[in-house]
Chain A
Amino acid sequence: MSQKILLKNDHIPGINTLEVYRKHGGYESLKKALGMAPDAIVEEVKKSGLRGRGGAGFPTGMKWSFLAKPEGVPRYLVCNADESEPGTFKDRYLMEHIPHLLIEGMIVSSFALGANTSYIYIRGEYFYILRILEAAIDEAYAAGLLGKNILGSGFDHDCYVQIGAGAYICGEETALLESLEGKRGNPRLKPPFPAVKGLWDCPTVVNNVETIAAVVPIVEMGGDAYAGIGIGKSTGTKLISASGHINKPGVYEIELGVPVEEFIYSDEYCGGIRNGKDLKAVVAGGSSVPILPKHLILKTAAGEPRLMSYESLADGGFATGTMLGSGGFIVMDEDTSIVKNLFTFARFYHHESCGQCSPCREGTGWMERILQKILDGKGTLADIDLLWDVQSKIEGKTICPLGEAAAWPVAAAIRHFRHEFEEYVTRPEGIREVRHYYRVNGLETA
């Protein structure tokens, strides 16, 4: 099932420079695209079945076709490179090693959308990538791939890189636009959606780095060929950021549909659990998606093997399933404390809540404090129910998805690992080592 599309050339020395990139077929898609009608490119992307790689998995072609096209109003393409989901680092790898793939994707996508200006909004922590991208953009301008009349086609395009200040919330598309406009990064109320009123109230498409990069091979090979890769409605390849207690952490490009078991244990990918330990749980798509215990991540509730695809991971809803999300694959071995892990997530969401709407502003801090209390060994059984109640009062009540992102991990941890929470509150002296609990209770790990 191994198929590399985005990262097929990442091992070539000097691929970050324009010269080497073009020698290996770079900017051929752009040449091809400029010879096509813009709507034909949108049609190819629709045919390809490409889905947003930033987390939500919304069909990209459909998103593009929603873009309003009023006369005399500029349109914008914005690349969301504010990759701040804990456990996700695929865009960093892509931009660091093959920056021209993103630049080429930006130009091709902008041509398809009729946007003469595009922005790459990059998170503040990726300052060194700012330099890499700016160098790549300078090379592209010098070679006539950006600027006026690109490759003699009459299409003008300018691409800018804007750096954020390191806020998780600015990865939410409307907060990103606010920040890009120079304001405080607070999410906007939707509707209106960015496709109608986005950057400076103009129609705007916001896409993830990986999504924009994937447009390049789609134009090159055609939408139908791309749709042939992958499984069902999960077409193409996906970059997975594998981290945690595995032998080979890193960024892997997989064809969607690889079994989760193969992904964790195969030497081609994660290479099994570190130190020969047993698997306990996996967070499959970045910190905000529900955690799943071993028996549910390897097999669905119906006993089918779980595959790395949008549909298979979501099988069973949140009761027994999760989401592919942004592909931040965090593996936890048998020694991991789910409660401690959850506390880390809760602290993160508390720190990153923008404070605009009440449930998220007050609720995230409350959840963190309850978890701190449980970790301190001062919790009660009622605290677990309270935690459940607080998360349910946040979920679905907020302006932007950060509320859900903060609530889902809490809900899933209690749903699947309630016994561990109970152990923390009923026998605080025995919580130093999680394995101890399993041993004294004669239970199998996870």
Chain B
Amino acid sequence: MAKVTIDDFQIEVPEGTTILNAARMIGGDLVPPAMCYYSSLKGSGGYCRTCLVKVEQGSAKDPRPMPKLVPSCRTAVMDGMVVRNETSPEVIEARAGVTEFLLINHPLDCPVCDQAGECKLQDLGYEHGKLDTRSEFRRRTFEPEDIGDNIKLHMNRCILCYRCVKVCEQITDGRVHGVIGRGDHAEISTYIEKAIDNDFSGNVIDVCPVGALTDRTFRFKSRVWYTKPVEAHRNCEKCCGKVRLWYQGEEILRVTARKDEFDEVAKLENGEAGWICNECRFEKKHTNDWVIDGVTHVDRQSVISANHYESKEGERFEGKQLEGASLPHGDKVDLGVGALNPNNV
């Protein structure tokens, strides 16, 4: 076991745990944002640089600080490590920089984007972005593409997190899409306009942190905050069959996998991720197809919870708060970087 301190909160975690996962075990606001890391995808993470943290003390044996900010999703904790995330101005500044970089080529078409309301980039922009842009240049643009009958690719919105590439590599029979080109002209695409035709290809929609890959069967039908999520299951030969149904009135508009509190596909009892097949996702849109398990618990801070659900009682909290910790747990940290801060205008 390794004892690690993150923003003055201490927790013991197994050796080899990454800083990000240690922070997730503590929970609350000291969890770094992660746009590309996905716990159930091997080799993911390290690309987006939003989870950079400062390591003030490398370990108990070697207390030297690390010279650069490190990606918390790919850096393993050491016993006695001291990490600063939200309490380090350097980290906050770097994160604001990454947010700005991610947005200079992003179309900001949230009003017509199906991902709006559950978009990680929106959250990131809200927490760390500025109200105004300093880039005055043309954005790189691509035409929207249909990847098969059910998936739409809006390359303009993509932040090149490589999650969908890893999904197709690891849970489908064969990857037919990937990253083509280099630098800011790199694009996710299929080789020679081929469709991604696979029983599990729909999972790329669930892992996409932005609206680059969206469900064509749900396209422009509603906004997520007008729909009500309900947990349901069916006996499926191909997948676990455990899904989340998104109702508007009596109608199921959309079916997705169940997500955990970090917006990742929730783990099943056996510890594996509950990926769902395309049949469950795209073809079963009647209540008769499903056995309803109950209402989905929605975080009170989510826009989806607006007017629908009661507020959550008490925040989850593990670990020990050190004396003199600068942040009370569970409260929003205001370091002068929130989008509503007038200094950021």
Contact = CB atoms under 8 A, between A and B. Distances in A.
Given A357-B47, A358-B48, A386-B134, A397 B182 contact: no
Given A359-B101, A362-B104, A363-B101, A398 B186 contact: no
B47 A397 contact: no
A380 to B, nearest CB: 11
Contacts, number: 85
A362 B182 contact: no
A397 B97 contact: yes
A189 B186 contact: no
Contacts of A189: 46, 71, 74
A355 B102 contact: no
A361 interface: yes
A397 B90 CA distance: 11
A364 interface: yes
B97 A359 contact: yes
B94 A393 contact: yes
A423 interface: no
A353 interface: yes
B183 interface: yes
A369 interface: yes
Interface footprint category on B: 20 to 34
Contacts of A393: 94, 97-98, 100-101
Interface in B110-129: none
Given A350-B183, A393-B101, A397-B97, 15 more contacts: A184-B178, A189-B46, A189-B74, A352-B182, A355-B160, A357-B49, A358-B101, A358-B102, A358-B160, A359-B97, A362-B102, A362-B184, A363-B101, A393-B97, A393-B98
B314 interface: no
B162 to A, nearest CB: 8
A398 B98 CA distance: 10
A361 B160 contact: yes
B39 interface: no
A437 interface: no
B257 interface: no
B47 A399 contact: yes
A351 interface: yes
19 contacts: A354-B186, A355-B184, A355-B186, A357-B47, A358-B48, A358-B159, A359-B97, A361-B186, A362-B101, A362-B104, A362-B105, A362-B184, A363-B101, A364-B184, A366-B135, A386-B134, A393-B100, A397-B68, A397-B94
B186 to A, nearest CB: 4
A3 interface: no
A366 B52 CA distance: 21
Interface string A376-393: 000000000010000001
Chain B binding surface, main DSSP class: loop
A396 interface: yes
Interface in A217-242: none
A270 B178 CA distance: 48
Given A189-B71, A397-B97, A365 B183 contact: yes
Q: Which of A353, A358, A361, A364 has the most CB of B within 10 A?
A: A358
A157 B23 CA distance: 48
A354 B47 contact: no
B137 interface: yes
Contacts of B97: 359, 393, 397
A356 interface: yes
Contacts of A352: 182-183
A399 B104 CA distance: 20
A346 interface: no
Interface residues of A, number: 27
A359 B98 contact: yes
Q: Which 10 A-B pairs have the closest CB atoms?
A: A393-B97, A355-B186, A362-B101, A353-B183, A189-B46, A365-B184, A355-B183, A369-B137, A396-B68, A358-B101
B325 interface: no
B142 to A, nearest CB: 14
Contacts of A169: 182
A388 to B, nearest CB: 12
B322 interface: no
B179 interface: yes
Interface string A102-127: 00000000000000000000000000
A358 B98 contact: yes
A167 to B, nearest CB: 7
B181 interface: yes
Contact of A353 (B47, B74, B182): B182
B69 interface: yes
Given A189-B71, A355-B183, A397 B52 contact: yes
Interface in B167-190: 178-179, 181-186
B104 A355 contact: no
A167 B179 CA distance: 16
Contacts of A359: 49, 97-98, 101
Interface in B132-175: 134-135, 137, 159-160, 162
Contacts of B159: 358
B104 A366 contact: yes
Nearest to A403: B49
B183 A399 contact: no
Given A362-B104, A393-B100, A396-B68, A357 B184 contact: no
A409 B70 CA distance: 23
A386 B136 CA distance: 12
Contacts of B94: 393, 397
Interface in B51-98: 52, 68-69, 71, 74, 94, 97-98
B100 to A, nearest CB: 7
A356 B47 contact: yes
Nearest to A351: B183
Nearest to A395: B68
A351 B183 CA distance: 7
A45 B344 CA distance: 55
Contacts of A356: 47, 160, 162
Interface in A331-354: 350-354
Contacts of A399: 46-47
A361 B69 contact: no
Contact of B69 (A351, A353, A355, A397): A397
A357 B45 CA distance: 10
Contact of A357 (B48, B104, B182): B48
A366 B137 contact: yes
A299 B101 CA distance: 38
B183 A354 contact: yes
Interface in B258-288: none
B49 A355 contact: no
A77 B135 CA distance: 45
Contacts of B102: 358, 362
Nearest to B93: A393
B69 A396 contact: yes
